[in-house]
Amino acid sequence: MAAKRATAKSNVSGEELTQFYRDMLLIRRFEEKAGQLYGMGLIGGFCHLYIGQEAVVVGLESAAEDGDKRITSYRDHGHMLACGMDANGVMAELTGRAGGYSKGKGGSMHMFSKEKHFYGGHGIVGAQVPLGAGLAFADKYNGNGRVTFTYFGDGAANQGQVYETFNMAALWDLPCIFVIENNQYAMGTAQARSTSSQDIYKRGEAFGIPGEMVDGMDVLAVKDASERAVKHCRSGKGPYILEIKTYRYRGHSMSDPAKYRTREEVQKMREERDPIEHVRQLLLTGKHASEDDLKAIDKDIKAIVNASADFAKESPLPDEAELWTDIYAEAT
């Protein structure tokens, strides 16, 4: 298919738009399946789904190059899939099986991939922010031109360690993109009840870090902003903040009764701002894909997700001897 412009505002080809659709749909269907397996008792402990936020990580990843790094919180399944980690390994880890990325010993919040430069998966709110700056420090020190995507939430943005990190990242011009995934809630607390200034992207001003607010339900807006942020960081100008306004459709975790917001609020977002439906419409109206093309993609994605659930169920539980492995880092 020849490269075509999908919208006036973003220079994106039909192929890229189709890829966005696939990548976002994979995350959505994977998370729906994880929710089902949780309900069946096959996933235990905490499980935080990313449904509704898919355009954030998919847009960001479209600006990443080989060797760039990413680190995030416990709401991490989408980030893993978007950077190319294998759905089988992620689902097997969710179910605590030996075939999982952490051999079944980490679960939903603790997976890593050296190959894909994915540095977790962190359950302590905000903990990954200084770690992300550390990764960026290593890249600057090694002069390898890489950037680090450091994701955190609107709730985490109120932590002190974030501002210590901003200070050092700005002082040392670290190639770190701070991605604030503002899904408007921190557990059951709405942003307006927890956050004194609503414009989190401005919080870098005191440190001289540029920031912008981005519509996180529009993957093309995220892609554009990500390209600007990456360009800034790669050219040696130091860190950049992207506050991405998004929304999670499900509860904070699988055990959240979600009494702090109305069903109507969620329904309105789903109906009016769904990021996957948005791309679906762009593909159809721009004649980049037909209904049948999209059905074929849906079928493909379902097959990948079902295969990951089968792989997870068939994978054995970890051997008891695994309790004594992976405790200390190997000397390099």
Picked from ligand TPP, Mg ion, none, the partner binding residue 125 (CB below 5 to 8 A depending on kind) is ligand TPP
Residue 30 or residue 185: which is nearer to ligand TPP going by CB? 185
Separation CA 330–CA 44 (nearest Å): 29
Name the nearest CA neighbour of 108 among 78, 132, 150, 70.
Answer: 78
Using Cβ positions, the residue closest to Mg ion within the complex turns out to be 153
Name the nearest CA neighbour of 46 among 77, 8, 89, 84.
Answer: 77
Chain length of the chain: 332
Question: What is the footprint of ligand TPP within residues 69-108 (CB under 6 A)?
Answer: 73, 75
Q: How many CA atoms lie within 13 A of 213 on its CB side?
A: 11
Question: What is the footprint of ligand TPP within residues 269-328 (CB under 6 A)?
Answer: none
Query: Binder to ligand TPP among 125, 214, 279, 305 (CB under 6 A)?
Result: 125
Residue 135 or residue 156: which is nearer to ligand TPP going by CB? 156
| Contact of 61 with 82, CB cutoff 8 Å | yes
Question: What is the footprint of Mg ion within residues 224-263 (CB under 5 A)?
Answer: none
The least distance separating Mg ion from the CB of residue 106, rounded to whole angstroms, comes to: 22
Residue 46 or residue 172: which is nearer to Mg ion going by CB? 46
Using Cβ positions, the residue closest to ligand TPP within the complex turns out to be 153
Query: Binder to Mg ion among 153, 238, 251, 275 (CB under 5 A)?
Result: 153
Scored b (16 or more CB within 10 A) or e, 50-83 reads bbbbbbbbbbbbbbbeeebbbbbbbbbbbbbbbb
Q: How many CA atoms lie within 13 A of 288 on its CB side?
A: 22
Residue 17 or residue 200: which is nearer to ligand TPP going by CB? 200
Cα angle, residue 202 at apex, residues 199 and 205 outer, rounded to 5°: 160
Query: Binder to ligand TPP among 63, 186, 229, 294 (CB under 6 A)?
Result: 186
Query: Binder to ligand TPP among 3, 138, 171, 187 (CB under 6 A)?
Result: 187
DSSP code for 290: -
Query: Binder to Mg ion among 128, 158, 183, 195 (CB under 5 A)?
Result: 183
From start to end of 50-190, where are the E strands?
A: 69-71, 148-153, 176-182, 185-186, 189-190
Query: Binder to ligand TPP among 55, 64, 90, 156 (CB under 6 A)?
Result: 156
Q: Is 52 in the site for ligand TPP (CB under 6 A)?
A: no
Residue 153 or residue 239: which is nearer to Mg ion going by CB? 153
Pick the piece of the chain touching ligand TPP (CB under 6 A) from 62-70, 181-189, 228-236, 298-306.
181-189
Separation CA 27–CA 33 (nearest Å): 10
Separation CA 44–CA 16 (nearest Å): 36
Please report where in the chains the tokens 């302590």 appear, as a residue.
124
Picked from Mg ion, ligand TPP, none, the partner binding residue 3 (CB below 5 to 8 A depending on kind) is none
The least distance separating Mg ion from the CB of residue 144, rounded to whole angstroms, comes to: 32
The least distance separating ligand TPP from the CB of residue 329, rounded to whole angstroms, comes to: 24
Interface with ligand TPP by CB under 6 A: which residues?
73, 75, 123-125, 153-156, 183, 185-187, 252
